[in-house]
Structure 1
């Protein structure tokens, strides 16, 4: 009698063991281009919060890494995830033109890869790779159209560009210029990169004011540079609202600046939509479920009239 009982117990333990293995949490490696970017911090926090919401035994363990705006470091992080045999990888690329090696490494390892916030420059993504992004050209069109209407189709503007290695910068600016093509009475006075940073935006606008340049509006590729522009104008004694300021992202600081009248308008980029969307995509791909390869999270215009709806 003892032998079959032992055998049954062993079989049961093996069965339970295999069940536990099947119910094990998925391991997902996440490489963010830089942790100290305000908007990307929000994306990361929403991702982390959503990962903790899954039921026990059906969860996700996230391993976050900061690429510190270094392409080589980011590739190394991805290769490290591969060596750890993670179930999926999420990447917010440092340079959207330098993602081919990241994609190649993940595909060769048979590990699903999801790009978030910034889509690779290549037109068609390879099989096993997805992207959760927003249409950056639309962001540029929305902010510029609002400012063009406020200016009555006449005036001078300056453009604060993001990181030039980033297609978000290229496409948001392209959207701005698409609208400008309809308004020959609006001229670009200056156009320089503030690499997404508040202090760089402030320095550039301060320099232009010191040089005696005149402009009626600031079009910034993100809220941080727009806030920096507002700070420079305030320091120079410019009457709030006399120079229109447009941003992109709808960060908490950006929303507060609109509420206070320091910024004119922003375009809401859904950090929660991107963070949760990329995690869900990676999770489904790891489980061999079919997903849409290009997931687009829509932008929304934020004005003083509706800013309260975004808080």
Structure 2
């Protein structure tokens, strides 16, 4: 009788233990599935990830997504609008929770942004804008005020050449919001300086080799004493500035935009007069942070329609105070 009772007790304990293990395992499985289901998915499209400027923006976005526990699928548009549209359409089909976009063309990207709107997927523009005048809806724009950027370049130019002189202008990729807005800001500022004349402008597509070729063209057209400055919307004019100095053309001052390591070195060396410092890393960080706040329902914590970041001017007078924004 006691043996039978002992066996029953042993069987009972083993049954309870096995059941407990099974329930615990099931609990872990359910928790794991819930965690996977709860992971927020963010799609990010950058019009051309091979542009050096975006390296720290990408790193900032990826590191922040990891820190905040969200999945970030970052894709390049390869510098082609149709590819950019296709990438965003893939995000929509995948039913991501939010889309970050850095488009090459503020208007050209609008139709697919409207598709995201119709699918109920919020969109944040980062670094480059989306045109909202025709009904596309953006939760916010994260980046710099490019009109203010252009104004800063205008004031820097006026200081460099004493408020008068002939200037050649190198534009970024035509149609990007930064190209359009920076030019608008520059022209607005130059209204205060009627003795500064822009005699010619050409686009270099934010490309170093193209900017050098454009600079060489300007120098061949305008002989010593007939051109006071070359202003470039981006940092790619740095090679042209070095070429100009090596060619003995000390009469031409260079005003650039953005602040990679080679521009910092050129300011220190005196081949570039100054630049407006747009740091890309905080744009990637802030874009993802704002995305997570929106997904958490903290809409009031996200500045809208714009979340602007700082734009300090850097010249030889203060260059030692600013490490490069990327590179080096």
TM-score by length of 1: 0.88
User: How many angstroms does 1:6 deviate by?
Assistant: 6.5
- Secondary structure of the 1:50 match is helix
User: How many angstroms does 1:252 deviate by?
Assistant: 2.1
Q: Please give the alpha-carbon distance, in whole angstroms, between the structure 2 residues aligned to 1:128 and 1:232.
A: 42
From the CA coordinates, give the structure whose radius of gyration is larger: 2
Q: Please give the alpha-carbon distance, in whole angstroms, between the structure 2 residues aligned to 1:90 and 1:12.
A: 39
User: How many angstroms does 1:127 deviate by?
Assistant: 5.7
User: How many angstroms does 1:268 deviate by?
Assistant: 1.0
Q: Match of 2:110?
A: 100
Q: Match of 1:29?
A: 43
In angstroms, what is the RMSD of aligned CA positions?
Answer: 2.4
Q: Match of 2:9?
A: none
User: How many angstroms does 1:96 deviate by?
Assistant: 0.9
- Alignment partner for residue 47 of structure 1, among 50, 57, 61? 61
- Secondary structure of the 1:38 match is coil
CA contact (8 A) 2:64 2:289 kept: no
Q: Which runs of 5+ in 2 are unaligned?
A: 1-11, 324-328
Question: Where do residues 189-204 of structure 1 align in structure 2 (5 Å cutoff)?
Answer: 189-204=199-214
2:315 is the counterpart of 1:303: yes
Question: Where do residues 45-84 of structure 1 align in structure 2 (5 Å cutoff)?
Answer: 45-52=59-66, 54=67, 59-84=69-94
Q: Please give the alpha-carbon distance, in whole angstroms, between the structure 2 residues aligned to 1:36 and 1:259.
A: 27
- Secondary structure of the 2:140 match is strand
- Alignment partner for residue 298 of structure 2, among 266, 289, 293? 289
Q: Match of 1:86?
A: 96
Q: Please give the alpha-carbon distance, in whole angstroms, between the structure 2 residues aligned to 1:127 and 1:145.
A: 34
User: How many angstroms does 1:51 deviate by?
Assistant: 2.9
Q: Match of 1:154?
A: 164
CA contact (8 A) 2:122 2:139 kept: yes
CA contact (8 A) 1:218 1:229 kept: no
- Quick one: structure 1 residues 107 and 78, their matched pair in 2 at CA, closer, same or farther if it must change by over 3 Å? same
Which is worse superposed, 12-21 or 262-271? 12-21
Question: Where do residues 246-265 of structure 1 align in structure 2 (5 Å cutoff)?
Answer: 246-265=255-274
Q: Match of 1:269?
A: 278
TM-score by length of 2: 0.84
CA contact (8 A) 2:147 2:185 kept: yes
CA contact (8 A) 2:128 2:178 kept: yes
User: How many angstroms does 1:235 deviate by?
Assistant: 4.4
- Secondary structure of the 1:247 match is strand
